[in-house]
Amino acid sequence: MSDHDQSDKKRPLRSAAWFGTADKNGFMYRSWMKNQGFPEHLFDGRPVIGICNTWSELTPCNAHFRRIADKVRQGILEAGGFPVEFPVFSNGESNLRPTAMLTRNLASMDVEESLRGNPVDGVVLLVGCDKTTPALLMGAASCDLPTIVVSGGPMLNGKHKGKDIGSGTAVWQLSEQVKAGKISLHDFMAAEAGMSRSAGTCNTMGTASTMASIAEALGTSLPHNAAIPAVDSRRYVLAQLSGNRIVDMVKEDLKLSKILTREAFENAIRVNAAIGGSTNAVVHLKAIAGRIGVDLELDDWTNIGRGTPTIVDLQPSGRFLMEEFYYAGGLPAVLRRLGEANRLPYPDALTVNGRSLWENVAEAPIYNDEVIRTFDNPLCKDGGICVLRGNLAPRGAVLKPSAATAKLMKHRGRAVVFDNFDHYKARINDPELDVDASSVLVMRNCGPKGYPGMAEVGNMGLPAKLLEQGVTDMVRISDARMSGTAYGTVVLHVAPEAAAGGPLGAVRDGDWIELDCESGRLHLDISDEELASRLKAQDATAASRVLASDGGYLKLYIEHVLQADEGCDFDFLVGLRGAKVPSHSH
Ligand code: FES
């Protein structure tokens, strides 16, 4: 038997509390693990590395993760670590109802407790589909072990009728073309197989690619993690190298809190603007920051991100897809452009490979100025996230300028109100609906508590009769989120939401609403007295009370979820609790 006494080691690893003693407890922990065929030498005090896997056939974007996990495992073994793979709840965006956001916090709890309760010294997070990246980072942040992110990578470009089509974005575009009578239903159905033709996540700059880019910008992954296609052999090289690196990170005690600093979040906000990233990043970044103990406010998106041109020309804001983004140089090229333009707030921020963000990218090649444009020739001069406030959103709302129509970003129109998503679906194509291109579509009760789960329904499709007239965009306002693959002049995340007593609940058909992105104003044009009296009259929490009575996880969710401006985490999960070894039971 090898020496399980860790006293000769400078800094005993936390796994030694399980495997490091030559007594009854050590016997038990080791013995059961050995039923998997692990040889004795793996218990000799080497770093035990968790491979936290969101593999699931019900999460198609992460369905190739077993192969990625094998490469990570190979890397860990090669570097002298002991790899142990474990599953966590997998939030698949495409299948999970009512919305994968409902279970983001559940997955984060799964990750946190799996890490804290088990003999792991460091962890590799295998993430891909939208919610899996924030969920795993949130859970890991609360534990603060050495952590490295490996994303699954995007799908190859979609192809339909000889043209590239982007995940999600093509669905919105093609379905509106069917409604407008521009393409046949047969054509629409034919696009289905062509859109998703390889393993991987959505190939647009949707939420999955945004969060993968943000994970890289935060310094939590190796360079190029964001963009290497899922089926590119280099994705598997990166997985193996990440397995190598995490072992050294444990030896260096390079914990997540050393990477996820306020400076790293500022870099990520700036990067989100440059890539034309998803509005979902706002809630996810706030939730991750809350877990690690970094103060991040909604207004930081204005102060840090606004004014940064969007230089990545990817759908849904632009033309290209993630494959071209990688071939053009990927995120390191964007970071280099930002740094050379003095627009990278903290180039010295530390990354998981032990080097600074700038050291990683200073020499990064840039191969295509059309895909990764220069700051002299941006896709959108004023990228970033537009934070709006006013009597309609006292705690804020957001809009993505790069996906909006410039002339609608200052607009005054009359409200057409939908009480919830079902009401919207029942009414939107009613030929009698009193709506024209200047109307403002308002939908409520789709926020964190109201939906519940704050579904991605904020980019309401336009009325068929207006689409037939050639209308392509209208101002839309809701307490919902929107898919990162969607576009339009869409005001989202209105806080507080209607179901929490927010003023969205007081809007009536025909009210005038003013939107002004430049000044950040969202205003319901009624008097303060009238607004107060309408709010008093409504029983805004009725919907959430009914749902809460169903019990189960929904009850926990509705009772504890925070509003959008606070990241939609559970109130009791905010904060860094560490990974102190729990006492044992035998
Ligand atoms: Fe999974 Fe888009 S549905 S990444």
Looking from the CA of residue 206, the nearest atom of ligand 1 is: 2
Tokens, residue 64: 């190739």
Distances (CA, A) of 380 to 77, 275, 276, 284, 388: 46, 10, 9, 24, 19
According to the model, what pLDDT value does residue 2 have?
43
Looking from the CA of residue 201, the nearest atom of ligand 1 is: 4
Whether residue 245 lies inside any domain: the answer is yes
Q: Which protein residue has the closest C-alpha to ligand 1 atom 2?
A: 202
**pLDDT per residue rounded down to tens, the chain (586 residues):** 344 444 444 678 999 999 999 999 999 999 999 999 999 999 999 999 999 999 999 999 999 999 999 999 999 999 999 999 999 999 999 999 999 999 999 999 999 999 999 999 999 999 999 999 999 999 999 999 999 999 999 999 999 999 999 998 888 888 888 888 888 999 898 898 899 999 999 999 999 999 999 999 999 999 999 999 999 999 999 999 999 999 999 999 999 999 999 999 999 999 999 999 999 999 999 999 999 999 999 999 999 998 899 999 999 889 999 999 999 999 999 999 999 999 999 999 999 999 999 999 999 999 999 999 999 999 999 889 999 999 999 999 999 998 899 999 999 999 999 999 999 999 999 999 999 999 999 999 999 999 999 999 999 999 999 999 999 999 999 999 998 888 899 999 999 999 999 999 999 999 999 999 999 999 999 999 999 999 988 764 454 444 556 789 999 999 999 999 999 999 999 999 999 999 877 7
According to the model, what pLDDT value does residue 169 have?
84
Say yes or no: CB of residue 61 within 6 Å of ligand 1: yes
Looking from the CA of residue 485, the nearest atom of ligand 1 is: 2
Say yes or no: CB of residue 456 within 6 Å of ligand 1: no
Whether residue 287 lies inside any domain: the answer is no
Segment (H or E) for 465: helix 464-468
pLDDT tens-digit series, residues 337-369: 999 999 999 999 999 999 999 999 999 999 999
Best mutation site among 62, 196, 202, 284 for ligand 1 pocket (most ligand atoms within 8 Å of CB)? 202
Distances (CA, A) of 76 to 67, 85, 122, 143, 151: 14, 11, 11, 21, 17
Tokens, residue 74: 């190979």
State how far the Cα of 473 lies from the Cα of 13, in Å rounded to an integer.
57
According to the model, what pLDDT value does residue 10 have?
67
Could you list the beta-strand ranges (E) of 400-461: 410-418, 440-443
Say yes or no: CB of residue 208 within 6 Å of ligand 1: yes
Best mutation site among 59, 99, 103, 130 for ligand 1 pocket (most ligand atoms within 8 Å of CB)? 130
Whether residue 123 lies inside any domain: the answer is yes
Distance from Cα 67 to the centre of ligand 1, integer Å: 19
Distance from Cα 336 to the centre of ligand 1, integer Å: 28
State how far the Cα of 83 lies from the Cα of 43, in Å rounded to an integer.
11
Whether residue 375 lies inside any domain: the answer is no
Whether residue 344 lies inside any domain: the answer is no
Whether residue 352 lies inside any domain: the answer is no
Distance from Cα 13 to the centre of ligand 1, integer Å: 37
* Helix, strand, or coil (residue 81): coil
Phi, psi of 163 (to 5 degrees): -120, 155
According to the model, what pLDDT value does residue 402 have?
87
pTM for the model: 0.96
State how far the Cα of 572 lies from the Cα of 560, in Å rounded to an integer.
7
Distance from Cα 204 to the centre of ligand 1, integer Å: 10
Best mutation site among 55, 57, 94 for ligand 1 pocket (most ligand atoms within 8 Å of CB)? 94
Listing from the earlier edge strand, what are the strands of the sheet with 147-151? 82-87, 48-53, 122-127, 147-151
Say yes or no: CB of residue 206 within 6 Å of ligand 1: yes
Phi, psi of 52 (to 5 degrees): -90, 110
Name the residue with tokens 């989120």: 481
Distance from Cα 513 to the centre of ligand 1, integer Å: 34
Best mutation site among 54, 129, 204, 482 for ligand 1 pocket (most ligand atoms within 8 Å of CB)? 129
Q: Which domain holds residue 406?
A: 386-548
Q: Does the bond joining 496 to the residue before it have cis omega, within 30 degrees of 0?
A: yes
Distance from Cα 460 to the centre of ligand 1, integer Å: 19
Distance from Cα 107 to the centre of ligand 1, integer Å: 16
Tokens, residue 95: 């299948």
Looking from the CA of residue 94, the nearest atom of ligand 1 is: 3
What is the pairing mode between strands 521-524 and 512-516? Answer: antiparallel
Which of 142, 99, 173, 94 is CA-nearest to residue 451?
Answer: 99
Q: How many domains would you assign to the chain? A: 2
State how far the Cα of 75 lies from the Cα of 243, in Å rounded to an integer.
4
The neighbouring-strand residues paired with 442 are 417, 477
The neighbouring-strand residues paired with 393 are 390
Whether residue 576 lies inside any domain: the answer is no
Structural domain ending residue among the three candidates 206, 228, 257: 257
Whether residue 143 lies inside any domain: the answer is yes
Which of 165, 109, 153, 97 is CA-nearest to residue 128?
Answer: 153
CATH of the domain at 446: 3.50.30.80
The neighbouring-strand residues paired with 51 are 85, 124
Say yes or no: CB of residue 130 within 6 Å of ligand 1: yes
State how far the Cα of 122 lies from the Cα of 144, in Å rounded to an integer.
9
